[in-house]
C-alpha cells in the first residue's frame, strides 16, 4: 500500500509538472545502471516528486533559495516528516544534482548528522517471552526466524523456501542491502519450527505469504506481528522488528563471537557499522553496579 502511494505521487508529478517525466526517466536510468535498489529509486523519486509538485517545477529548475525554504518548511511545519523522509529528500536531491553536474547545489544542501542514539536491545528473557507469546504459529515462527538469523525486515519478507538449506543449516540472503548476497545461520531448533509451520500452512514460494495469492508478506504485516506480540508479552520497550536484529548482534557478541565474523553474518559493508554493538554488549568490562548496593 505504501509503495502504491509513492507511485501515485510520482505519476501525479509526471502529469502536472512540465519536464518532470524527462528528469525522472534520467534518474531512473542512472539508479538502475548504478545497481541501486528499487526501494532507493522509489524513495528518491517520491521526495523529488513532492518538491516538484510543491513548486510546480522540476527539482533541477529550482533556485537555491527555493530548496532551502522547502527544507526549512519540512523541519518547521506542524506535520513534520520522519527523519528518514527528510534524509531521503536531501540524499535524493544530492543524487539528482550530481547526475546533472550541478555541484553548486550539492554544497549548499545541509549535511546530515549521524545519530548517536544506541539501538534498543531485548534481553534474552524478553526474547523468550516474545517468541512464545504470538497468537498464531506464523507470528511465532516469523519473529523467531528474524532473531535467530539476524534478518532485516525486507530479507525475511522476500525469503523463499529454496533459499533455506536445511542440510547445511544456512539461509541464502539474496540481493539485500547494497545488492549483496550473504549466508545467515539456520538454528537447529529453528528447523523444527519451520517444518512444523510449513506443514500447517503449506506456503508455496515465499516462506511467509501475504494476503494475496503469490505475494510475500507486506512490511506492515511484519511490523503488525511484532507490535501485537510485544503487547501480549508485556514488553514496553520501544521495539520494532529491527530490534530483533540488534538483539541478535548484541547477544552474539556477549556469547563470544568476534567482531569481524559478526560483521560478515550481518552483511555490513564496514566494520565501523558493526562496532556500535560494542556500546550495548556487556563484554570485557566490569559489571556496572551502584555503590548504594555495597554500603548496605
202: helix, strand or coil: coil
Q: Give catalytic status of residue 169 as yes or no.
A: no
Catalytic residue selected from 50, 88, 139, 152? 152
* Active-site hit among 245, 246, 251, 263: 245
Instruction: Kindly name the residue from 129, 177, 182, 198 that is annotated as catalytic.
Output: 177
268 is annotated as an active-site residue: yes
Cβ atoms 223, 213 nearer than 8 A: no
What is d(CA 277, CA 221) in angstroms, rounded to the nearest whole number? 28
> Which DSSP string corresponds to 217-241?
PPHHHHHHHHHHHHHHHT--S---H
Catalytic residue among 88, 138, 246, 268: 268
**Residue 279 catalytic?**
no
Task: Say if CB 208 and CB 216 are below 8 A apart.
Answer: yes
Q: Is 56 a catalytic residue?
A: no
Distance of CA 136 to the CA centre of its chain: 24
Q: Does the annotation mark 177 as catalytic?
A: yes
91 is annotated as an active-site residue: no
Write the burial class of residue 12 (CB in 10 Å: 0-12 exposed, 13-18 middle, 19+ buried).
middle
Give the active site residues: 152, 177, 242, 245, 268, 277
Amino acid at each position: 500500500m505504501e509503495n502504491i502511494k509513492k507511485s501515485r505521487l510520482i505519476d501525479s508529478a509526471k502529469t502536472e509538472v512540465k519536464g518532470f517525466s524527462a528528469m525522472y526517466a534520467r534518474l531512473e536510468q542512472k539508479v538502475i545502471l548504478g545497481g541501486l535498489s528499487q526501494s532507493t529509486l522509489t524513495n528518491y523519486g517520491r521526495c523529488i516528486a513532492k518538491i516538484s509538485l510543491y513548486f510546480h517545477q522540476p527539482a533541477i529548475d529550482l533556485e537555491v533559495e527555493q530548496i532551502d525554504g522547502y527544507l526549512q518548511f519540512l523541519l518547521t511545519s506542524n506535520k513534520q516528516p520522519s527523519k528518514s523522509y527528510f534524509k531521503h529528500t536531501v540524499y535524493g536531491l544530492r543524487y539528482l544534482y550530481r547526475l546533472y553536474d550541478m555541484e553548486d547545489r550539492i554544497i549548499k544542501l545541509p549535511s546530515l548528522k549521524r545519530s548517536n542514539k544506541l539501538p534498543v536491545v531485548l534481553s534474552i528473557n524478553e526474547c523468550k517471552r516474545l517468541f512464545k507469546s504470538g497468537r498464531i504459529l506464523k507470528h511465532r515462527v516469523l519473529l523467531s526466524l528474524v532473531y535467530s538469523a539476524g534478518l532485516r525486515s525486507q530479507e525475511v519478507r522476500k525469503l523463499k523456501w529454496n533459499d533455506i538449506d536445511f542440510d547445511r543449516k544456512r539461509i541464502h540472503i539474496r540481493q539485500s542491502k547494497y545488492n549483496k548476497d550473504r549466508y545467515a545461520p539456520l538454528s537447529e531448533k529453528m528447523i523444527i519450527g519451520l517444518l512444523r509451520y510449513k506443514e500447517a500452512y503449506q506456503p508455496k514460494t515465499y516462506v511467509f505469504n501475504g494476503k494475496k495469492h503469490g505475494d510475500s508478506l507486506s512490511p506492515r504485516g511484519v511490523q503488525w506481528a511484532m507490535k501485537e506480540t510485544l503487547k501480549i508479552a508485556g514488553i514496553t520497550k520501544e521495539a520494532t522488528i529491527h530490534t530483533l536484529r540488534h538483539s541478535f548482534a548484541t547477544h552474539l557478541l556477549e556469547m563470544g563471537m568476534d567482531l569481524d565474523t559478526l560483521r560478515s553474518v550481518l552483511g555490513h559493508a564496514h566494520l565501523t557499522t558493526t562496532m556500535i554493538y560494542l556500546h550495548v554488549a556487556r563484554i570485557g568490562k566490569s559489571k556496572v553496579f551502584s555503590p548504594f548496593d555495597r554500603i548496605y
